[in-house]
A = this chain, B = another copy of it.
Amino acid sequence: MDDALAFSGLVLALSGQLVQEIHTGVSQQGFEDLRPAHGFAFAHISVGGATTADLAEHLGVTKQAAAQLVEELVRKGYVERHPHPHDARARLLGLTEIGWAATRAADRAARAAVAPWQEALGEERFSELVADLTLLAPPGPIRPAW
């Protein structure tokens, strides 16, 4: 059997479907000005303590690209810039209440996308699946890939 090659296709197919459904779900909850890539930024900013340069490294893009993304999210009301307590050059990024609301909407959409799969496999088998995938997942940051 060529499980290895099949696995690649399956992971790509699932991830594509997942991204699509989360994006659609988030839009339908009223956040129509967010795109899939923004989710990765939210995930990093929501942890707290992130600067634009941190975000750039996390996303694997240039500082310039990260600065533009932050500027866009600030303009749309999802992100705030605060002075950095120990570095007068840097600005700490944080989510606004709207930013948190969008994050919760994305979580809901993700759960909704996964629910049918969870049901199809059954709770127990699904838990084993998650456990297996946890062993495989790389420790690094989650980034958009193409």
Contacts and interface: CB of A to CB of B under 8 A. Distances in A.
Interface of A: 1, 3-20, 22-23, 35-37, 107, 110-111, 113-115, 117-118, 120-121, 125-127, 129-130, 132-138, 142-146
B145 A120 contact: no
6 contacts: A11-B11, A13-B142, A35-B146, A121-B135, A144-B146, A145-B146
A36 to B, nearest CB: 4
Given A3-B118, A5-B107, A110-B5, A14 B136 contact: yes
Majority secondary structure, A binding face: helix
Contact of A37 (B13, B18, B146): B146
Given A9-B142, A135-B121, A145-B36, A126 B14 contact: no
Contact of A137 (B10, B115, B133): B10
Give this chain's copy count: 2
A19 B11 CA distance: 10
B146 A120 contact: no
Nearest to A8: B110
B16 A133 contact: no
B8 A127 contact: no
A107 to B, nearest CB: 6
Given A36-B146, A146-B144, A11 B133 contact: yes
A22, A113, A146 interface centre (most CB from chain B within 10 Å)? A146
